[in-house]
Structure 1
Amino acid sequence: MPKVKHVLVAGVAAGIVGGLVKLGWENLLPPRTPARNATNPPQRLLEQLGVPASVTHATYTYSEQQIPYVSLLMHFGFSITFALAYQVLGRRMPILKVGQGTLFGLGVWGAYHAVLMPMMGTIPSVKDQPIEEHVSEILGHMVWMWSVDRVEVAMKK
């Protein structure tokens, strides 16, 4: 398989698997209270960009539950984008792959959850977030990128 095609296929596959892992993680250790999750960070970010709540909170019904599909599109888009970035940047700067993705995941958490999203007002400042959110998000980002790394490694074989 040509190199560019392999990078795209492996990055998308790893991003999808990583996104599923992160969703599963958040079922075990929910990062936000139900009240704070009424409008989750992807929904809030889109609303800050001018997307109406009728779109950001759009759902489909499965097993009698409302599933926020716009949030899922953002979730998987984020995961695929960072899986591709990890793969491309990691080839150029192998130090990014130290820790099999865990340190990269920690860096993504720090950049977005500790700096950018609080600065933009998408989520509260770090000091105003509950410790449970930090535990879930820090460990979740590490496990997410570790799974991305493992999928990419498996696809190289």
Structure 2
Amino acid sequence: MNLLKQTPPARRRYGLAAFIGLIAGIVSSFVKWGAEHPLPPRSPADMFNAACSPETLIRAADQIDCSRNFLNPPYIFLRDYLGIADPNSAVYTFAGHAFNSVGVTHIIFSIVFAVGYCIVVERFPIFKLWQGLLAGALAQLFVHMITFPLMGLTPPLLELPAYEHISEIVGHLIWFWSIEIIRRDLRNRITKEPDADVPLSSAFR
């Protein structure tokens, strides 16, 4: 069993991987956003009272929204960890619609993970297993199910509704699948080197 089988050093292209990861991160952020429209991860009816008290410092009492739909993980991260007073304030407007810091964070989050994924699989091809679906499942597990509750960005894991887990796992799988499709296509075109799939059987040799 060799789960951490590595690629030949001469074949690794870390700089190219980072560049491709930047492109894949931007494009895949829209893919993951799109997945949340038919499968919304949070409901306006679910309250997040533990994260609501700082809102009294930002807005009037009659304007406070304690729902998890409003107090989403990017919002709380920007407010509590980066000190942005109102993460929903407009960064720019387009066609009369405001694009806020939460949206910017969503894209940056996607870029960071896409660049990291593209660099890691240059050396450890096992993470390409199932065309990136393995990496998507691991990201869902370690980020949304472990890190976010520990940081207080979501309620404790056992308090999260089933529909949130369904939405997030579907979104993460589609997200990483799109990253892998872009990564493989661009890498093959640029390097002219075939980038074969990782068969499940080979992962355990």
Pair in the same fold by TM > 0.5: yes
Per the TM alignment, residue 7 of structure 1 is displaced from its structure 2 partner at its CA by: 1.9
Distance 2:85 2:183 in 1: 36
Tell me which of 126, 134, 139 is aligned to 1:95.
Answer: 126
Secondary structure at 1:53 match in 2: coil
Which of 78, 89, 93 aligns to 1:46? It is 78
- The alpha-carbon deviation at position 129 of structure 1 amounts to 1.0
Q: How many residues align?
A: 153
The residue type equivalent to 1:48 in the other structure is D
Higher-helix-fraction structure: 1
Taking structure 1 as the reference length, what is the TM-score of the superposition? 0.89
Structure 1 pair 113/150, CA: closer, same or farther in 2 (3 Å)?
A: same
Once the two structures are overlaid, the 10-residue window that deviates more, 39-48 or 145-154, is 39-48
What CA distance in whole angstroms lies between the structure 1 residues aligned with 2:94 and 2:33?
16
- Aligned twin of 2:24: 14
Query: How far did 1:66 drift?
Result: 3.8
Q: Which residue of 1 aligns with 2:177?
A: 146
Amino acid at match of 1:30: P
Sequence identity of aligned pairs in percent? 35
Taking a change above 3 Å as real, the CA distance of residues 50 and 89 of structure 1, as seen in their structure-2 partners, is closer
Aligned to 2:39: 29
The gaps in structure 1 that reach 5 residues or longer are none
* 8 Å contact from structure 2 (residues 14, 119) kept in 1: no
CA distance in 2, matches of 1:108, 1:50: 22
Return the offset for 1:5.
4.3
CA distance in 2, matches of 1:107, 1:5: 24
Q: Which amino acid aligns with 1:44?
A: I
* Structure 2 Cα separation of the partners of residues 121 and 8 of structure 1: 30
Structure 2 unmatched runs, 5+? 1-12, 45-66, 190-205
Q: 1:5 to 1:94 in 2, by over 3 A?
A: closer
Q: Which has the higher Rg, Structure 1 or Structure 2?
A: 2
CA RMSD in angstroms comes to 1.6
